[in-house]
Amino acid sequence: MEESLRIDKYLWAVRLYKTRAQASEACRAGKVKKDGVPLKASHEVKVGERYELSIEQLHKVVEVKALLHNRVGAKQVEGYMTDLTPSEEYERIQMVRQYGFERRDRGSGRPTKRERRAIEELKGS
């Protein structure tokens, strides 16, 4: 008989989410995907599968090395999961933290069309 493990429990056990409830909520919100398809919290994890996660601003890619049923220490996580997230993604997050999030002064209202275009040009989108 082959072991089975739910994706929400796996994500909690390898410390990608603080609670299993947060992992389940991320699945319900469509933030956990496999091959671009959102997964339900009850999806069965298999060794070798790759998952794409959106954790706050970070878009993470992980591959399952082994299954586990209990939460492990941070140093042991690398035995159960491989982080395949591109280094550019971590650099982007570092830059966002360094320069801060986009913000406007209170009471300044919505940006004009010209201001919005300038913001989008700066952001590169």
Q: What is the pLDDT of residues 16-70, one digit of tens each?
A: 999 999 999 999 999 999 999 999 999 999 999 999 999 888 899 999 999 998 9
pLDDT of residue 1: 40
- Count other C-beta atoms under 10 Å from residue 58's C-beta: 13
Strand order in the sheet with 81-83: 37-38, 32-34, 50-55, 58-64, 81-83
Pairwise CA distance, residues 119 & 123, whole Å: 6
User: What's the gap between Cα 121 and its chain centre?
Assistant: 26
Superfamily assignment of 7-123 in CATH?
RNA-binding S4 domain (3.10.290.10)
Pairwise CA distance, residues 47 & 64, whole Å: 5
What residue ranges do the domains of the chain occupy?
Answer: 7-123
More confident residue, 93 or 7: 7
pTM (2 decimals)? Answer: 0.75
> Which tens digits make up the pLDDT trace of 80-120?
999 999 998 888 888 777 766 667 778 888 889 998 898 88
Pairwise CA distance, residues 24 & 95, whole Å: 29
